[in-house]
Amino acid sequence: MPSLPFRNRLNDLDPKDWLKFQKSWFIHNPPPRRKDVLRHPAKFPETLAQEFIEFFTRRGQWVLDPMAGTGSALVAALRTGRQSVGIELNPGYAAIARQVVVDERAALGALADGLSAELLQGDAAQAASLLQPLNLPPVDYVITSPPYWDMLRARGARTQKERRAAPELDVFYSDDPADLGNIREYDPFVERLAGIYASLRPLLRPRAYLTVIVKNVKKGGVIYPLAWDLARRLSRTYALKDERIWCQENQRLAPYGLGNAWVSNTFHHYCLQFRVE
């Protein structure tokens, strides 16, 4: 009996590329950042966003990043032929993202014709009202990486010390009270973050996926399982389908706790996959 032809309802990948993405962990070392986006202290790479967008959407579908930073998801969407919209609280980062999108359009030329890549400046907690004037169809996919609590304000971090020596680089996102990175208490932070993501559900089409790239954090010698707590909290709204572990192997090792106590160099993030059921 002849086998049935492969029918792909989710994306434009062939079976070989589909299987590659199903590995539960992967190594991705981001390329060097452009000088015009270095101001942002925690940008995630366009190349990483591109892999997820290509798996969870088809060409022409809509991608949303409610915490867009300097526009990584929008650039990745343009490169893959998807429509996109982002929301960014910080006006400075929003301006950078808009210019990055302009530059990417120029680089892509005709390949970007007909593609939307809109960056809105505002609070992700108000996503529904911000997006309403655009009259968009239901969103097909959300990919985003939130603040990792208030860890950018941890003065002991080596990378933060290096950034303080360069006044043109931000050490933390902003002083805006709406900035989740300014919440000092852990439980209220998790609740507010999960509430923002839960509020996106009415904007998404049925069976749309949401990818949250996040990390467990260390503070004051204690591990706070941010990825796991967020997964548990968001499971009230979405179905938690799986996780992929993003590993980096090109970062310098630091001698934390050397000769005294176990303190890991944490070079992995959790890419949590949720779905609208």
Q: Which residues contact 229 (CB under 8 A, 6 or more apart)?
A: 190
pLDDT at site 179: 82
pLDDT at site 40: 45
CA atoms within 13 Å, Cβ hemisphere of 21: 20
In terms of residue numbers, what domain contains 89? 20-275
pTM (predicted TM-score): 0.90
Residue 23 CA to residue 34 CA, distance in Å, equals 30
- Could you tell me the CATH number of the domain that includes residue 239? 3.40.50.150
The answer to whether residue 3 is domain-embedded is: no
| Contact in structure between 13 and 51 (CB atoms under 8 Å) | no
82-95 b/e (C-beta count within 10 Å ≥ 16 → b): bbbbbbbbbeebbe
Q: To which residue do tokens 């300014």 refer?
A: 182
Adjacent-strand bridge partners of 269: 246
Residue 209, CA distances (Å) to 40, 55, 256, 275 in order: 27, 10, 37, 4
Which amino acid, residue 125? A
Residue 9 CA to residue 132 CA, distance in Å, equals 28
The answer to whether residue 171 is domain-embedded is: yes
Rg (CA), the chain: 19
The answer to whether residue 260 is domain-embedded is: yes
> How would DSSP label each residue in 75-118?
HHHHHTT-EEEEEES-HHHHHHHHHHHHHHHHHHGGGGTT--EE
The answer to whether residue 12 is domain-embedded is: no
pLDDT at site 163: 47
The answer to whether residue 162 is domain-embedded is: yes
Q: What is the pLDDT along the chain (277 residues), one digit of tens a residue?
A: 556 677 899 999 999 999 999 999 999 988 776 656 545 445 678 999 999 999 999 999 999 999 999 999 999 999 999 999 999 999 999 999 999 999 999 999 999 999 999 999 999 999 999 999 999 999 999 999 998 887 766 765 555 555 455 555 555 556 778 888 888 899 999 999 999 999 999 999 999 999 999 999 988 888 999 999 999 999 999 999 999 999 998 888 989 888 988 888 889 999 999 999 9
The answer to whether residue 256 is domain-embedded is: yes
Sheet holding 117-121, edge to edge: 25-27, 239-247, 268-275, 204-214, 139-144, 62-65, 83-88, 117-121
Adjacent-strand bridge partners of 244: 271
53 three-state secondary structure:
helix
The answer to whether residue 220 is domain-embedded is: yes
Residue 232, CA distances (Å) to 103, 214, 227, 263 in order: 39, 13, 9, 26
pLDDT at site 215: 93
pLDDT at site 167: 53
Alpha helices in the chain (DSSP H): 15-21, 46-56, 72-79, 91-108, 127-131, 158-164, 186-198, 226-234
The answer to whether residue 133 is domain-embedded is: yes
Of 142, 182, 159, nearest to 267 (Cα)?
159
Domain count, the chain: 1
| Contact in structure between 66 and 196 (CB atoms under 8 Å) | yes
